[in-house]
A and B are shown apart, each in its own frame.
Chain A
Amino acid sequence: MGRLRSLLIPGVDKQLLVRDATRVMPDLARRRFIAGGASLGALTLLTGCDVSDSFSAESMLTRISKFNDAVQAAMFNPNTLAPTFPESAITKPFPFNAYYALDDAPTIDGKEWKLEVRGLVDNKKSWTLEELYQLPQVKQVTRHICVEGWSAIGSWTGTPLRDFLKIIGADTRAKYCWFQCADVDGYNSPLDMASALHPQTQMTFKFGDEILPRAYGFPMKIRVPTKLGFKNPKYVVSMEVTNDYKGGFWEDQGYNSFSGS
């Protein structure tokens, strides 16, 4: 009993404490990195720090990741182009990559689909695929680099995002373009405005000169060759120009948000 009492914190209601602790506890499925980082967190527990300190390893890593966002934003040169390659360098077959199997990839009817535009823009009209196909397109052969480390060279054709932002009268002083997608579980990802305005950042409609296949994001993906692959959303259904950081599918789980190349 004496030993048990020493574990209690004087003046703290146990049940309230547990309830508060559960509330600050991150969703386990979305914060898997805690499993590996727990050893340092456990150490701070052993030293008798209070409950909120027990996640200090995680909060320290999150803070450094935010610092790394700032470092990368400072390193980002809007005039530096991603290296381009000859068509002969294109990786064949180009890998399909997602957090689900190809069978579970969204099947979108191009005739029904519309790109919804929201937020700090003059014209909030939705765009049909046919309307978007009328906009001038450019082709790029660039290297797609996955956060996992592998890379593949592909050919993407579409409208520079900065041209589209101009057409819709977007406030380009806003901080982010936030994309939402049709993937199962609702993929989304924020793109900082500087990267959105980069000349190679593209609303992609074609892969290898063919209409973008389902595997690579039909009807539209956002190709950002200055970012890791997960910052290149596929099956895009809406874009919001916003000053708010709205998080993203992978960003919320711990991938660095800027993730610039």
Chain B
Amino acid sequence: MSSLAVNDQPAATATSTKVIQPAWVRILHWTNAVAMVLMIMSGWQIYNASPLFGFTFSKSITLGGWLGGALLWHFAAMWLLMVNGTVYLILGLATGRFRKKLLPITPEGVIADTRAALTGKLSHADLTKYNYVQKLLYAGIIVVGILIVLSGLAIWKPVQLQYLTALFGGYEAARYVHFFCMAAIVAFMVVHVALALLVPKSLRAMIIGR
């Protein structure tokens, strides 16, 4: 009996160390991906109704067909984004994943890993550990995600949530914050998707966990 138990243990640890992305992370990640794409594409259509800058987004990459349709998508997908994001924050904090995976972030580490990445010397041998550039970007995008939701609420409810709107410097300033958060997320997504395709086993880990 006891020998059986002893034999079982190494096998169990072997499978558990193989899991790089636990199921809850994978589910929340892909739900977030869908919500983000819906929010961004409908957001571009909403932007086109009253552009902040001298350009509009091509209709071929927007969602909703016109302002009214885009608003329906935006205010539907916001629930998916907010509920999913809130669960992610709670589980990330409660399971200690944020602390274990994203901290500490040191300037020296970020500089060294950036240099290593640019000279092609960054190792991807152990996908369970993030390098300092990943830590900074993943922690940073969580902050941007929180900011885009808060600035969105500030634009949506500048009377009922007027203190939040004031925190962003007023209604008009909150629109710019919301826009630049979107720009940061799109920039992140471009790099994120490109790197995931360059290191396919990281993409596999986010799909099947190992």
Q: Which of B72-80, B91-99, B199-207 contacts its partner?
A: B72-80
Contact of A149 among B76, B157, B160, B175 (CB under 8 A): B175
Tell whether, in the assembled complex, residue A37 and residue B159 are in contact, meaning their CB atoms are under 8 Å apart.
Answer: no
Q: What is the chain B residue whose CB lies nearest that of A198? A: B159
A-side contacts of B151, CB under 8 Å? none
Tell whether, in the assembled complex, residue A143 and residue B76 are in contact, meaning their CB atoms are under 8 Å apart.
Answer: no
Report the minimal beta-carbon distance from A187 to chain B, rounded to whole angstroms.
16
Contact of A36 among B50, B66, B76, B171 (CB under 8 A): B66
**How many Å lie between the Cα of A61 and that of B42 in the bound state?**
13
Does B85 belong to the interface (CB within 8 Å)?
Answer: no
B-side contacts of A37, CB under 8 Å? 64-65, 69, 72-73
Does A46 belong to the interface (CB within 8 Å)?
Answer: no
Q: Is the interface of B mostly helix, strand, loop or mixed?
A: helix
Does A172 belong to the interface (CB within 8 Å)?
Answer: no
**How many Å lie between the Cα of A129 and that of B50 in the bound state?**
35
**How many Å lie between the Cα of A68 and that of B72 in the bound state?**
10
Tell whether, in the assembled complex, residue B62 and residue A36 are in contact, meaning their CB atoms are under 8 Å apart.
Answer: yes
Q: Is the interface of A mostly helix, strand, loop or mixed?
A: loop
Report the minimal beta-carbon distance from A202 to chain B, rounded to whole angstroms.
15
Interface centre among B64, B158, B159 (most CB of A within 10 A): B159
Within 8 A of A (CB), among B156-191: 157-160, 162, 171-172, 175
Tell whether, in the assembled complex, residue B76 and residue A260 are in contact, meaning their CB atoms are under 8 Å apart.
Answer: no
We find that the number of chain B residues with CB closer than 8 angstroms to chain A is: 29
Does A62 belong to the interface (CB within 8 Å)?
Answer: yes
Tell whether, in the assembled complex, residue A33 and residue B49 are in contact, meaning their CB atoms are under 8 Å apart.
Answer: no
Tell whether, in the assembled complex, residue B72 and residue A143 are in contact, meaning their CB atoms are under 8 Å apart.
Answer: no
CB within 8 Å for A80 and B46 given contacts A36-B62, A143-B171:
no
Tell whether, in the assembled complex, residue B160 and residue A150 are in contact, meaning their CB atoms are under 8 Å apart.
Answer: no
A-side contacts of B158, CB under 8 Å? 83, 143, 145, 261
Given contacts A80-B160, A143-B171, 17 further A-B contacts (CB under 8 A): A32-B68, A32-B69, A33-B72, A36-B63, A36-B65, A36-B69, A36-B70, A36-B73, A60-B76, A68-B75, A146-B50, A149-B155, A150-B50, A151-B171, A255-B71, A256-B75, A261-B157
Q: List 8 A-B contacts (CB under 8 A).
A: A34-B65, A36-B62, A60-B76, A75-B157, A80-B162, A145-B158, A149-B46, A255-B71
